[in-house]
């Protein structure tokens, strides 16, 4: 089975998160590795939800290379798809399906590359980490980090998230916050007898619009960003609402500190506001001068037709968790998917990027084990 057909097979598994249900797809992949004499380990996240860690090779001189990606996908959305999201339809050089770009083409590239390249018993080898639950806060990756012995060692990490095969050396972090205010309910015909929580949250929003981050601009990522993602309040039209809340999506950089951001928001918004942290994922940024980073950029050069500049991604990945387990190794984000197609209706991946990604990964594996 070639890597395009493998991608189609993976797309046929419905791994939408929530609820996730990655087990069937994970076990399908696990069997492929079992047939090729890899050490295969399944790690349960919850009912019908599993992550997979497979290994091959071992050396006391050099740590293995980690290849990683996630199995879950986001929901289909409310718009009608013109292509079957679970059938791997192709048209005009594009492979359609939920997760085609984010990131089952990347998973297929990892599998194809790792199964079709010789890995000697005493070489540094590979540790391949395929996770459940990435789309909602890297649940599977953090679960593996917490489990003793689930992850071993890695000297470098390749995350096959969608980059159109352009290498990124890091990504922003994410701090998701819920901000809640309370009021006093009353009959809608007598609003003066209550305190309208929606009015209060409106005032909070105006303050947030003036918020500035107190940190230096990062040389590669720029500054942090803040987006007001949702707002809700009240139960019925004829009552004064006694509660209202908003959620904030803050994307952080290495020069910003999450605790300081929360503290400054509390100071700006006042004591009546409740702030709850929904997600706390730190940024990732490798040293551009790192020898392996530079070698990987050289490897990608002939595929792109030019030497890639050092860049970072705006989204977060499982690397935020894995860097903890692996003691902060150099990390490259590199995969065949189109980042602009992630989470979209009629999501697709350019077909020719998939075998290209597999070839790039083979070169990276070869360099790691034989360089």
Quote the domain boundaries for residue 73.
3-171+283-370
Which of 281, 314, 334 lies at the terminal end of a domain, its last residue?
281
Task: Please tell me whether residues 86 and 230 are part of one structural domain.
Answer: no
- CATH number reported for the structural domain that contains residue 99 in this entry: 3.40.630.10
Give the contacts of 96 (CB within 8 A, at least 6 positions apart): 83, 84, 85, 88, 89, 90, 346, 347, 348
pLDDT tens digits for range 170-206: 999 999 999 999 999 999 999 999 999 999 999 999 9
Please state, rounded to an integer, the average pLDDT across all residues of the chain: 96
Average pLDDT over residues 248-265: 97
Which of 281, 316, 336 lies at the terminal end of a domain, its last residue?
281
Task: Please tell me whether residues 183 and 295 are part of one structural domain.
Answer: no
- CATH number reported for the structural domain that contains residue 261 in this entry: 3.30.70.360
Q: Give the pLDDT score at 60.
A: 85
Task: Please tell me whether residues 220 and 134 are part of one structural domain.
Answer: no
Backbone angles phi, psi at 77, to 5 degrees: 90, 180
Task: Give the helix/strand (H/E) hosting 56.
Answer: strand 49-56
Of 111, 110, 112, 117, nearest to 57 by C-alpha is: 117
Task: Please tell me whether residues 328 and 193 are part of one structural domain.
Answer: no
**% of the chain beyond a pLDDT of 90:** 96
Q: Give the pLDDT score at 259.
A: 97
For residue 193, the Cα-to-chain-centroid distance in whole angstroms is 47
Strand positions, DSSP E, 294-341:
331-333
The number of distinct structural domains making up the chain is: 2
Task: Please tell me whether residues 116 and 165 are part of one structural domain.
Answer: yes
């Amino acid at each position: 089975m070639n890597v395009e057909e493998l991608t189609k097979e993976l797309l046929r598994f419905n791994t939408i998160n929530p609820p996730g249900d990655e087990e069937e797809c994970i076990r399908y992949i696990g069997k492929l590795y079992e047939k090729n004499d890899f050490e295969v380990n399944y790690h349960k996240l919850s009912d019908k939800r599993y992550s997979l860690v497979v290994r091959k090779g071992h050396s006391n001189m050099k740590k293995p290379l980690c290849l990683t990606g996630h199995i879950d996908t986001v929901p289909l959305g409310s718009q009608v798809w013109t292509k079957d999201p679970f059938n791997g339809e192709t048209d005009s050089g594009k492979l359609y399906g939920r997760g085609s770009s984010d990131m089952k083409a990347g998973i297929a590239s990892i599998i194809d590359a790792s199964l079709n390249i010789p890995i000697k018993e005493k070489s540094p080898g590979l540790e391949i980490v395929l996770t459940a639950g990435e789309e909602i806060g890297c649940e599977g990756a953090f679960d593996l980090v917490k489990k003793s012995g689930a992850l071993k060692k890695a000297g470098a990490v390749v995350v096959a998230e969608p980059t159109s095969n352009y290498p990124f050396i890091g990504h922003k972090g994410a701090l998701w916050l819920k901000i809640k205010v309370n009021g006093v309910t009353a009959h809608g015909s007598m609003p003066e007898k209550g305190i309208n929580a929606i009015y209060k949250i409106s005032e909070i929003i105006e303050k947030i619009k003036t918020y500035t981050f107190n940190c230096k601009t990062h040389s590669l990522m720029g500054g942090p960003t803040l987006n007001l993602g949702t707002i809700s309040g009240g139960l019925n039209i004829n009552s004064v609402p006694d509660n209202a809340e908003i959620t904030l999506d803050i994307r952080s950089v290495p020069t910003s500190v999450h605790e300081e951001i929360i503290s400054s928001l509390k100071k700006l918004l006042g004591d009546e506001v409740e702030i709850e942290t929904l997600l706390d994922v730190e940024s990732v940024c490798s040293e551009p001068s790192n020898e392996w980073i530079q070698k990987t950029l050289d490897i990608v050069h002939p595929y792109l037709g030019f030497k890639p500049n050092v860049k970072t991604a705006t989204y977060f990945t499982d690397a935020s968790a894995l860097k903890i387990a692996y003691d902060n190794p150099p990390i490259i984000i590199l995969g065949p998917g189109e980042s602009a197609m992630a989470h979209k209706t009629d999501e697709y991946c350019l077909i020719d990027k998939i075998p290209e990604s597999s070839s790039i990964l083979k070169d990276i594996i070869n360099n790691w084990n034989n360089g």
